[in-house]
A and B are shown apart, each in its own frame.
Chain A
């Protein structure tokens, strides 16, 4: 065997071959890794701590230190003086099976909602600005829990018993911004002719998405629940403007599309060119 020589390659060839080898391995690893990273971004339904940046920027900035979870008043190390028991944690650090980017903080309102502390202890401790202090600081430079924006409550009218005419105001009473974020809409119950509807309605500019309503909801699966704003809210576009609303009219100035034109085959023609001939839509 020993006299069979391996084919010799030149140093130059060796250099190119090993370059290709390394580049190929790097590309392979990179593709697998980037593919996983894409999946690791987790569910868009994730609810983040107060003052979190937009999900994309939040994922860029969060260093996964857990200081917010440790600062949350509602944490296991903070023993409840009334009951003598540890409190269940609002903020959880995602584990591999949570469908949330591993190591990032999130909360599940149905388990433990956010109690909206006056001093918002979870936000100032963030070292990276993933929780943006400025977004919960008001004009006077004070922290303002009303400026929190974790998500928005959504009412599902088919499951909400108040919409059936049964008297229930559990979510309305549970709301920390009582009669501001959830309002009761009164209506006459035509079916009985003598009762009233007290339907919960969300004020979308006020609701912070703390989730106390979701936890308080009496139905088996909550008829009011928190969703990220990007998921729950629609957007009518800049071309629908409330003509009766002075403030909404200002949007015309800020609208993104300055001119809307639609180009079709017929655009080049005059109306008189085709109107009398009928239109071929093919």
Chain B
């Protein structure tokens, strides 16, 4: 049986955070209140989505100290420690797209599908586009279509018609493009890629142990980051790696593991 340690840890983190958000509204808890756009820990420490704050700035809003501090806390945490871990450890849409990906493997869709070429850099163009549209429309542009906050708010305040967007993303990832949303389009993923590029926690590959089974590449949502597998021992240093640890889980040969990058060497 495959190891699922990090998978279960991730699901537990995602669901626990969602539960705290839900409980803040449903039971009046103060552990973590708000939404993923902006929250507050114990009613004191502010946390804000740096991308949402950037869009607000582009839309022409005057930023308050609270949101700037909140965005800085988030950016520093992922920038120094977590990398792009938001995408795989926090974001609830990850569960939707992972489900699509799982079903895709079960249905052998990869085997019959004509490959669609789509650049993984679309997410970076989406960031620029979101900021331009925010500037033009005076409305944080990604925040009005973001399936992340739609799902997040749905859990907290109840779902509306926006849930259709989540189904659409599930179907898109299942039938149109493998890892289509999280791996190609989502600008928030792009922002977290940029923020987390130099983070300390990284997966590292030991090619001496590698038996070239390629299980890691099969499960990896950002396959390109594992370009060194079987070729050389190296740190998975590309920005797109979400630190999800699936590759560490499936590797039977201890060729992949988490480590803390040492910049002093």
Contact = CB atoms under 8 A, between A and B. Distances in A.
Interface of A: 22, 26, 29-30, 33-34, 36-38, 40-41, 56-57, 59-61, 63-67, 69-70, 75-78, 92-93, 95-98, 101-103, 125, 127-129
B49 to A, nearest CB: 8
A33 B145 CA distance: 9
Interface string B120-142: 00000100111011001111110
11 contacts: A26-B128, A30-B132, A37-B136, A60-B56, A70-B28, A97-B160, A101-B144, A102-B150, A127-B34, A127-B38, A127-B46
Given A67-B34, A93-B153, A128-B66, A26 B125 contact: yes
Contact of B144 (A22, A29, A103): A103
B248 interface: no
Contacts of A40: 139, 144
Nearest to B143: A64
B157 interface: yes
A66 B160 contact: no
Given A64-B149, A92-B157, A101-B139, A127 B144 contact: no
Given A60-B138, A103-B144, 10 more contacts: A33-B141, A37-B136, A61-B56, A63-B38, A65-B37, A67-B40, A127-B70, A128-B38, A128-B63, A128-B66
Interface stretch (B3-11, B19-27, B96-104, B207-215): B19-27
Instruction: Give the top 7 A-B pairs by smallest Cβ distance, nearest first.
Output: A95-B160, A65-B38, A96-B161, A37-B137, A96-B162, A60-B61, A65-B34
Contacts of A29: 129
Contacts of A127: 34, 38, 40, 46, 48, 64, 66-67, 70
A74 to B, nearest CB: 13
Given A63-B37, A66-B34, A78 B28 contact: yes
A76 B129 contact: no
B149 A33 contact: no
A144 B48 CA distance: 29
Nearest to A92: B157
A97 B163 CA distance: 11
Nearest to B28: A77
Contact of B64 (A38, A76, A128): A128
Interface string B32-65: 0111011110000010110011001001111110
B250 interface: no
A38 B59 CA distance: 13
